[in-house]
Amino acid sequence: MNDPRLRRHEFGFLEVVDRPTSEALSEYYAQAYFQNAASSSFRRSYSEEELEVIELRIAQKALQARTLLSDDQSGSLLDVGCGEGFVLKFFDRLGWQVQGIDYSRAGVQQVNPDYVGHVEQG
């Protein structure tokens, strides 16, 4: 490892040397992350094809989650960094209890506004 921006943590993983403060992260996500279309990978809308790909990727992960439960049992999901709320929407449709947390509600407000009430900002 020759990158001076990183150091090895005592538990073995790499971490950023100069981590941003909680306040800086909160400000960035609340004001820029979703809101600045020029510098973000998130958009206000997606094509049907893009939504289908997103759904298929989530469905693959859902199959893995279901292996932890009995066949017809639903579960509870906490999506940390829930972004635009795609995972919340998918698992809610399966009958799961869903809750998300993110620094900003802007992504879910733009793409899946019905799930804003499921997102804690922070």
Give the residue carrying structure tokens 């943590």.
9
Residue 114 has pLDDT above 60, yes or no: yes
The model's pTM is 0.72
The torsion of the CA quartet 64, 83, 14, 16, rounded to 10 degrees, works out to 180
For the chain, the domains span 6-121
Lookup: tokens for 50: 């893009």
The predicted structure's pLDDT at residue 70: 67
The tens digit of pLDDT for each residue in 76-103 reads: 899 999 999 999 999 999 899 999 999 8
Count Cβ neighbours within 10 Å for each residue of 32-42 and write b for 16 or more, e otherwise: ebbeeeeeeeb
**Which residue type, as a one-letter code, is found at position 15?**
E
pLDDT of 48 strictly over 80: yes
Task: Give rounded-to-5 percent helix, strand, coil for the chain.
Answer: 40, 15, 40
